[in-house]
Structures are given as structure tokens and as C-alpha cells.
């Protein structure tokens, strides 16, 4: 072959390769650019390779308090539609966002062709790959849920979880009493205390009150140990200046568990969660935390089995104990010997327990964070609730002891229920609930291909702002009959965004203060709905009940300086407020619990 031919062959090959390359790039590009579902509105400027991502980033950078969710709300408003599509992953399908309660209710409660989408589970997948949150709603999921259903029964909650939560909140009250005495009317940052207390609540629920790691006790010791110099610095501060308190030494086990719950924040909003998890869980710090957490849980399980053997399973003090009893019963039913010490049992329990902590920690502390904010900012609601509590426990007197856990769980206080429901409605601790279409279907009159993710907004239209007008013929048949037969729930658009517990109250006809709590007064999606709704919600209601009662019984929450009274939220794992400060005035002087 002479040079000329070689050149020619190379040239031909090269041009061939070049054309092939160009074609595949083009093909890739075509695959990657967003492909909208016909008829569903979207922002035309997003039809580029990166879809809505640049606009989301810009929105978050430019808008004070801007998050992914505020971006969606803004787009929905400007596109003027209760169903829009956004593009957040190249090569991915469009992502639908639904801002309409009746259709969301229908999807979550009744429509079998919508099931759990991976989006929610992705947030915890790297740390608890086997949690039932990841499963489709099938027999495996049912069996998993059955294993832990006893933990949310009234009897477990009242007899086991309640007393532990109460004990733990009592410690917080003692800590805050000490802090408010020192701060003497000045505000301080409550976030860490709330965060630690929520963690303690979950470890208490999981391992019982004998769990030796407390998050609040070290803080109590540290504040008790403040020296004269530290106190003098505080006394010189102005009345609106923040007081800083020492935090105390956190135990290694609790720090490990807390650090792991915080990794969830690194994954939130990330387009490729699996990669992020692979990266996060390889960090030496996180690997070490995982090991410490596992040792700690395994030890608690061993303790549980020992307790079971010593008491023949008669004493149940924690979720661990309950799961051991369950395994015993299951084994009996299946005619086998229980496998208490098997690796499988230990791993399974351990993962479930840790799953509760992961799913519950950020969300619960966020809800409690917002609780403090609303109470301080709505003094008339705060005093109405305090009065309702006083009336519910008339024998305790104005400054006597706090209500006991039994008194709290066995007394009906409609206004308290209403305040809790309203905090959950307004806080939107988890702002979206996802489902995926498992078959081709329809939504608001549009064809939706199998595999499409539908994000139902927990905030926004119908929930916290006026609902869209949806022509009834576009609704699903079941949703249409709800509307026709007057079963569909809606809030009065006037005042829908206001924090107003009264919306959950039915006033009696005439004779004075007879009021009733109506949990179905209007739209609420804080815990999702239906079969796949939040597993832990009863625990959350119980904790908020104890929290509100003890806090209001013992303190008056005063408004904080304007700079920290904003309603901005940053979306970490959940929708948490960026400022949580308290300014307290003590009411009763006796110790909460002895
Ligand atoms: C204020 C606190 C909490 C909020 C706002 C919250 C909210 C939610 C929401 C919106 C969902 C999705 C529901 C759906 O898709 O329909 C969910 C699921 C779940 N939550 Fe919670 N949650 C909270 C606390 C907890 C706690 C304390 C636990 C554990 C004890 C927990 C365990 C779970 C689990 C396991 C799931 C998945 C259920 C399944 O897929 O079957 N949550 N939660
Ligand atoms: C579409 O996105 C662009 C860029 O973020 C924004 O300026 C515009 O207002 C959006 N239009 C609509 C109708 O939402
Ligand atoms: C249930 O679905 C999961 C995936 O979400 C799958 O791994 C499991 O095998 C399914 N179980 C049954 C009984 O079909
Ligand atoms: C509560 O709010 C504070 C901001 O003051 C934040 O730092 C903290 O992480 C929040 N806690 C949670 C997990 O909601």
C-alpha cells in the first residue's frame, strides 16, 4: 500500500467515525433533552439539556428563603395550572407536580395504579437499604409493616412510648427553666435543644428509658456548671441580645446517630442519589459513625433479649422489646423456635429501629421547631391553648405540678388537637409526597405514561393558598362523585394561608364552650395519606401533645426580636425554619417530674 492509499483509508475511517460520533452525540442529545407529556404546561425556557435545573439554582440563589418547593409553587402560579411538568434529570422522564387536593386524595387513597416512587426512599437508601419505605405496596411490604405494627397501637403508645417521651421532655423543661432563669428575658437559640430532644425521643421509643445515652443531661450539667464569669457576661447583655449556652459533651453513640441522620441532607435535591450515597458512606467519618451506631443497636438488642428471658416477655419497655415479643409470637404461629440471636433477627431489628430514627429525627425536630415559632408569634392562640389546658386539668392549680403522662394521654382537649393539626398543616415538614404510575393512566384529563412520577404538593394550592378551579369533567370518576356528593374537602380561600387552629374546631350550638375537634375539616397532607401514609404519625401526635402541654404549662413564650422571627425555611431533608429562637417567661416553679 502506498502512502496515498493509507491516507485515503485512514481518512475514510476517520470521517466515518466522526459521522458516527456526531450522530451518537446528536442521539444522546435528543435522548437527554426534556420530552414533555403533551398538553401539560411547562416553562418553555426549560426545554434545554439541563431542563429546569439552572432556573431552580438561580431561583434559590436570588430569592430569600427560596427552595425547590418555592420554585415549583412559583412556576405553578405563572403557568396557571394545578398540574405542571418539570425537568430535573437529563435522560429522565418529565416529573409531574400536582397542586390540587381532591386529585391528590384520590391518587393516595384509591388509585391502585399509583405506588410509592423511589424519590422519598432515596433520601435514606444509603443507610437503610432494606427499610419498607423502598418497597412497592406488595406482600413483602405488608409483611414488613406487620412486623412493626404493634408499635403504633394505642396501648404501646400510652404505656410504653408515652412515659419515655414524657421523662425526656421533663428534662428539657428542667433545662429550659435553668436557661430562662439565667437569660432573664433575653432570647436564645433553641434549635440544638430541640434537635437533641427529638433524637432522645426516638432513642427512648426504640430502646426504652434505660438507654444510657441522654442528649439533654450533658447540656443540663454544662449549664449548671457555668461559672460566675460566664454569668456576668450574660448579665451585661442588652434585653434583646442573644444568650449563648454551653452545650455539654455529646456521647459518642448519640453523635454517631445524629451525624448519620444529617447525611440525609446531603442527598436531598441531588439528581443522582445512589452516587451521592456511595460517596457519603465511604467517608471515614461516616464509616466510623455507622460502626458505632451498629455496635450500639446490637448491644441494645442483646439487652432486650436478656430482659425478655428474665421476665419471660412480660415487661415491655421499648420498641426493641416489642419486636422480640413479636418474633416469639410469629415463631409460635409458624411452628419454629424463635431466632432471637440470629444475625438476621439482629440485622432486621437494627435496621428497622435505625430506619425509625432516620425517618423521624429531622421531621420531628422540624415540626417542634415550627411549634415554638407559631406559639411565640400568635400570643392569643398561645393563651387560649393554655386556658384550655388549665380547664382540662382543673385540680392542678395555676402553678402546681405539670399534668402527668396519664393525665395527658387520657384527657380529651379539642383545642390542643386543633393546634397540633394546624402546626402540621402550616409547617409542611415534608413538603411533597411522591407516587409513580405503575401503568399508563390519566390525570386531570391528560394521558400519563407508565413510570411517570407524580409529586403531590403538601403545601400550596388547596392546602395553603386558594385552590385552582378545575373543571369537574377533568377529574377521575371517583373524584367526580366526591365532588357531586359533597364529600370533597376544601378550605375557605379567605384566610387559607393563616395559622388558625379554629379551622379544625366545631363550635357547639349555643351552650358556651362546648367545642369539638374535627380532623376531617379540610385538606391536610402532612403525613401523606392512605396505605403508604407515614408510619410514625401516631408517635408524632403523642410527642407533640406532651411537648405542647409541658411547654405551655411551664412557660410563656414571648415574641423574639424581628430579625429572627422570619418564616423562611431552608430545605435540608425537611422544610425547617432558618431561625428558631425562644424567649421564655417561667410560669410554674415546681419541678416537672421527680
Ligand atoms: C413530624 C414528623 C413527621 C412527618 C411530617 C412525616 C411525614 C411523612 C410523609 C409525608 C411520608 C410519606 C407518606 C406518603 O407517601 O403518603 C412519611 C412516610 C414514612 N414515615 Fe414519616 N413523618 C414524620 C415522622 C416519622 C416518624 C417519627 C417515623 C418513625 C417512627 C416515621 C416513619 C415513616 C416511615 C417508615 C414512612 C414510610 C412508610 C411506607 O412507605 O410505608 N415518620 N412520613
Ligand atoms: C420560565 O423560566 C424563566 C427562567 O427561570 C423565568 O424567567 C420565567 O418567568 C418562567 N416563565 C414561566 C411562565 O414560569
Ligand atoms: C415487592 O416489591 C419489591 C420491590 O419494590 C420486590 O423486591 C419484592 O420482591 C416484591 N415482593 C413480592 C412478594 O412481589
Ligand atoms: C431548627 O431550626 C434551626 C434554625 O434555628 C436549625 O439550625 C435546626 O437544624 C432546626 N432543627 C431541625 C432539624 O429542624
**Looking at 219-223, 325-329, 408-412, 448-452, which range is the least confident one?**
325-329
What's residue 572's pLDDT? Answer: 46
- pLDDT at position 469 is 93
Distance CA 330, CA 326 (A): 6
Q: Of all protein residues, whose CA lies closest to atom 11 belonging to ligand 1?
A: 534
Residue 372 is assigned to a structural domain of this protein: yes
How far is Cα 308 from Cα 328, in angstroms, rounded to an integer?
Answer: 10
How high is the pLDDT of residue 125? 76
Condensed to tens digits (0 to 9), the pLDDT of residues 229-260 reads 999 999 999 888 889 999 888 889 989 988 88
pLDDT of 348 strictly over 50: yes
Task: Give the nearest ligand 4 atom to 369 CA.
Answer: 1
Q: Locate cell 391528590: which residue?
A: 104
Interval between CA 79 and ligand 2 midpoint (Å): 9
Q: pLDDT band for position 443 (50/70/90)?
A: very high
- Domain-located, residue 211: yes
SS3 category, 408: helix
Q: In sequence order, what are the residues at sequence separation of 6 or more whose Cβ sits closer than 8 angstroms to the Cβ of residue 387? A: none
Number of domains within the chain? 1
Q: Give me the pLDDT at residue 569, please.
A: 52
- Cell of residue 539, nine digits: 408517635
Residue 98, beta-bridge partner list? 83, 456
**Residue 593 pLDDT greater than 70, yes or no:** no
Which of ligand 3's atoms lies nearest the C-alpha of 134?
A: 5
- Asked whether residue 86 is assigned to any structural domain, the reply reads no
Residue 183 has a pLDDT of 94
Print the domain residue range for 179: 149-431+499-593
Instruction: Kindly identify the ligand whose nearest atom is closest to the C-alpha of 71.
Output: 2
Give mean pLDDT, residues 268-287.
79
CA 130 to chain centre: 19
What's the pLDDT at 415?
97
The answer to whether residue 260 is domain-embedded is yes
Going from the Cα of 273 to the center of ligand 3, the distance in angstroms, rounded, reads 21
45 C-alpha to ligand 2 centroid (Å): 7
For residue 82, give the C-alpha cell: 394545578
Question: At 529, is the pLDDT very low, low, confident or very high (cuts 50, 70, 90)?
Answer: very high
Q: How far apart are the first and last CA of the chain?
A: 99
CB 135 less than 6 A from any atom of ligand 3: yes
Is the Cβ–Cβ distance between 574 and 361 less than 8 Å?
no
- pLDDT the model gives residue 162: 94
Tell me the best of 535, 542, 573, 574 to mutate to test the pocket of ligand 1, counting ligand atoms within 8 Å of each CB and taking the most: 535
Distance separating alpha carbons of residues 247 and 231, to the nearest angstrom: 15
* Nearest 10 degrees: Cα torsion 303, 360, 410, 582: 120
Residue 496 has a pLDDT of 96
The better pLDDT of the pair 45, 236 is held by 236
C-alpha count within 13 angstroms, C-beta hemisphere, residue 373:
27
Q: Which of 123, 370, 534 to mutate to test the pocket of ligand 1 (most atoms within 8 A of CB)?
A: 534
pLDDT of 511 over the 80 cut: no
Say which range, 123-132, 144-153, 549-558, has the weakest mean pLDDT: 123-132
Give every CB contact of residue 409 below 8 A, 6+ residues apart in sequence: 157, 158, 162, 542, 545
Secondary structure of 40-96 as H, E, C letters: CCCCHHHCCCCCCHHHHHHHHHHCCCCCHHHHHHHHHHHHCCCEEEECCCCCCCCEE
Q: Report the pLDDT value the prediction gives residue 146, as an integer from 0 to 100.
A: 81
- Give 570 Cα–ligand 1 centroid separation in angstroms: 19
pLDDT greater than 70 at residue 517: yes
Strand partners, 454: 96, 435
From the CA of 428, the nearest ligand is 1
Spatial separation of the C-alpha atoms in residues 52 and 50, rounded to whole Å: 6
Distance 487 CA to ligand 4 centre (A): 38
Q: What is the pLDDT of residue 6?
A: 62
Which band of pLDDT confidence, cut at 50, 70 and 90, is reported for residue 526? very high
Residue 187 lies in a domain: yes
The pTM score is 0.90
Kindly give the distance from the C-alpha atom of residue 581 to the centroid of ligand 4, in angstroms, as a whole number: 10
From the CA of 359, how far away is ligand 1's center (Å)? 6
Q: Whose CA is nearest to atom 11 of ligand 2?
A: 43
Confidence of residue 447 (pLDDT cuts 50, 70, 90): very high
Q: What's the whole-number mean pLDDT along residues 345-354?
A: 78
Cell numbers linked to 262:
444529617
CA 226–ligand 4 middle distance (angstroms)? 25
Say yes or no to pLDDT of 464 above 90: yes
Contact 146, 168 (CB under 8 A): no
Nearest CA to ligand 3 atom 9: 140
Kindly tell me the sign of the dihedral angle through the C-alpha atoms of 13, 14, 19, 21: positive
Q: What was the pLDDT predicted at 350? A: 79
296 phi, psi to nearest 5 deg: -65, -45
Residue 559 falls within a domain, yes or no? yes
Residue 139 alpha carbon, nearest atom of ligand 3? 13
CATH of the domain at 209: 1.10.630.10
User: Under a CB-based contact definition with an 8 Å cutoff, are residues 194 and 368 in contact?
Assistant: yes
Kindly give the distance from the C-alpha atom of residue 87 to the centroid of ligand 2, in angstroms, as a whole number: 13
Q: Which ligand is nearest to the CA of 425?
A: 1
The mean pLDDT value of the chain amounts to 86
**Once rounded to an integer, what is the mean pLDDT over residues 497-511?**
88
Mean local confidence (pLDDT), 566-588 = 64
Nearest CA to ligand 4 atom 14: 366
In a domain, 393, yes or no: yes
- Residues contacting ligand 4 via CB (< 6 Å): 191, 195, 362, 365-366, 369, 576-580
Task: Report if residue 62 sits inside a domain.
Answer: no
Q: Which of 34, 41, 43 to mutate to test the pocket of ligand 2 (most atoms within 8 A of CB)?
A: 43
User: Can you tell me which atom of ligand 1 is nearest the CA of 363?
Assistant: 2
pLDDT digits (tens, 9 = 90+) for 362-384: 889 889 989 998 999 899 999 99
Please report which confidence band the pLDDT of residue 69 belongs to, taking 50, 70 and 90 as the band edges: confident
Output the CA 576–ligand 4 centroid distance in Å: 6
The pLDDT tens digits for 73-120 are: 999 999 999 999 998 877 678 999 999 999 999 999 999 999 998 877
Which of 577, 578, 582, 583 best tests ligand 4's pocket when mutated (most atoms within 8 Å of CB)?
577
pLDDT-derived band at 339 (thresholds 50, 70, 90) equals confident
Amino acid at each position: 500500500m502506498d502512502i496515498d492509499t493509507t491516507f485515503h483509508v485512514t481518512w475514510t475511517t476517520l470521517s466515518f467515525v466522526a459521522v458516527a460520533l456526531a450522530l451518537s452525540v446528536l442521539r444522546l442529545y435528543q435522548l437527554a433533552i426534556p420530552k414533555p407529556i403533551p398538553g401539560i404546561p411547562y416553562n418553555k425556557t426549560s426545554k434545554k439539556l439541563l431542563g429546569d435545573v439552572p432556573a431552580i439554582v438561580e431561583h434559590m440563589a436570588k430569592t430569600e428563603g427560596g427552595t425547590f418547593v418555592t420554585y415549583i409553587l412559583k412556576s405553578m402560579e405563572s403557568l396557571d395550572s394545578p398540574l405542571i411538568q418539570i425537568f430535573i434529570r437529563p435522560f429522565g422522564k418529565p416529573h409531574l407536580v400536582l397542586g390540587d387536593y381532591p386529585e391528590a386524595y384520590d391518587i393516595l387513597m384509591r388509585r391502585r395504579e399509583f405506588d410509592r416512587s423511589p424519590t422519598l426512599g432515596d433520601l435514606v437508601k444509603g443507610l437503610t437499604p432494606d427499610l419498607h419505605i423502598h418497597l412497592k405496596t406488595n406482600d413483602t411490604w405488608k409483611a414488613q409493616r406487620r412486623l412493626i405494627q404493634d408499635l403504633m397501637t394505642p396501648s404501646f403508645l400510652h404505656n410504653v412510648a408515652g412515659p419515655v417521651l414524657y421523662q425526656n421532655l421533663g428534662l428539657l423543661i428542667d433545662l429550659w427553666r435553668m436557661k430562662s432563669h439565667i437569660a432573664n428575658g433575653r432570647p436564645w437559640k433553641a434549635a440544638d435543644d430541640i434537635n437533641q430532644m427529638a433524637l432522645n425521643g426516638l432513642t427512648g421509643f426504640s430502646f426504652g428509658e434505660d438507654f444510657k445515652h441522654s442528649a439533654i443531661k450533658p447540656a443540663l450539667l454544662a449549664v449548671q456548671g457555668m461559672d460566675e464569669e460566664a454569668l456576668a457576661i450574660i448579665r451585661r447583655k442588652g434585653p434583646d441580645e442573644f444568650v449563648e449556652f454551653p452545650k455539654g459533651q455529646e456521647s459518642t453513640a448519640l453523635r454517631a446517630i445524629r451525624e448519620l441522620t444529617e447525611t440525609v441532607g446531603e442527598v436531598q435535591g441531588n439528581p443522582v442519589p445512589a452516587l451521592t450515597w456511595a460517596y457519603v458512606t465511604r467517608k471515614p467519618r461516616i464509616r466510623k459513625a455507622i460502626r458505632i451506631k451498629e455496635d450500639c443497636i446490637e448491644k441494645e438488642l442483646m439487652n432486650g433479649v436478656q430482659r425478655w428471658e428474665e421476665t419471660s416477655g412480660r415487661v415491655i419497655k421499648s420498641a426493641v422489646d416489642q419486636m422480640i415479643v413479636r418474633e416469639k409470637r410469629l415463631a409460635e404461629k409458624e411452628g419454629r423456635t424463635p431466632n432471637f440471636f440470629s444475625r438476621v433477627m439482629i440485622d432486621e431489628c437494627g435496621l428497622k429501629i435505625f430506619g425509625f430514627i432516620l425517618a423521624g429525627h429531622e421531621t420531628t425536630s422540624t415540626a417542634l421547631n415550627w411549634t415554638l415559632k407559631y406559639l411565640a408569634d400568635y400570643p392569643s392562640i398561645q393563651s387560649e391553648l393554655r386556658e384550655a389546658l388549665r380547664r382540662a386539668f382543673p385540680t392542678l392549680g395555676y402553678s402546681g405540678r405539670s399534668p402527668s403522662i396519664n393525665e395527658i394521654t387520657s384527657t380529651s382537649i379539642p383545642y390542643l388537637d386543633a393546634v397540633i393539626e394546624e402546626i402540621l398543616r402550616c409547617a409542611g415538614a415534608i413538603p411533597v409526597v411522591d407516587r409513580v404510575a405503575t401503568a399508563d393512566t390519566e390525570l386531570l384529563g391528560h394521558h400519563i405514561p407508565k413510570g411517570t412520577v407524580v409529586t403531590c404538593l403538601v403545601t400550596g394550592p388547596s392546602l395553603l393558598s386558594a385552590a385552582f378551579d378545575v373543571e369537574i369533567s377533568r377529574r377521575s370518576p371517583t373524584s367526580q362523585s366526591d365532588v357531586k356528593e359533597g364529600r370533597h374537602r376544601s378550605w375557605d380561600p379567605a384566610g387559607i394561608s393563616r395559622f388558625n387552629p379554629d379551622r379544625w374546631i366545631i363550635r357547639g350550638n349555643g351552650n358556651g364552650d362546648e367545642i369539638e375537634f374535627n380532623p376531617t375539616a379540610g385538606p391536610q397532607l402532612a403525613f401523606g395519606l392512605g396505605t403508604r401514609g407515614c408510619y410514625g404519625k401516631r408517635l408524632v401526635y403523642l410527642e407533640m401533645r406532651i411537648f405542647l402541654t409541658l411547654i405551655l404549662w411551664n412557660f410563656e413564650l414571648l415574641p423574639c426580636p424581628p430579625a429572627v422571627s422570619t418564616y423562611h425555611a431552608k430545605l435540608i431533608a425537611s422544610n425547617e425554619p432558618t431561625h428558631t429562637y425562644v424567649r421564655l417567661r417561667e410560669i410554674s416553679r415546681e419541678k416537672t417530674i421527680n
